[in-house]
Amino acid sequence: MKSMWNEPYLETCCRAALHRLFLTHGGIRPAGLPDEPCLRRLCTMGFAEEVTPGRFAMTETGAKRHGSEVLKKAAA
């Protein structure tokens, strides 16, 4: 069983940015919004990626982390 203590910590603002990426339903979120620093941090953690300059999308790893931390789903 993987412990949450072995995963990188997500600040509340970054969890919210990860959720906003989720709400795009596989789409992209533009830069220039107040959560851009969090989107860039999520990229360094592997939870998001900059698919084109100034456009961010959730990665598969980000979707798993969103499910376990934001939606509180148990890992399958």
Over residues 20-76, the pLDDT tens digits come to 999 999 899 999 999 999 999 999 999 999 999 999 999 999 999 999 988 887 655
Distance (Å, rounded) from C-alpha 14 to C-alpha 31? 14
Amino acid 28 reads I
Residue 5: pLDDT band with limits 50, 70, 90: low
Give the list of residues 6+ apart from residue 41 with CB closer than 8 angstroms, or none: 14
pLDDT reported for residue 46: 96
Amino acid 9 reads Y
Lowest-confidence region among 6-10, 15-19, 22-26, 69-73:
6-10
The domain segmentation of the chain, as residue ranges, is 30-61
Secondary structure of 30-54 in HEC code, one letter for each residue: ECCCCCHHHHHHHHHHCCEEEEECC
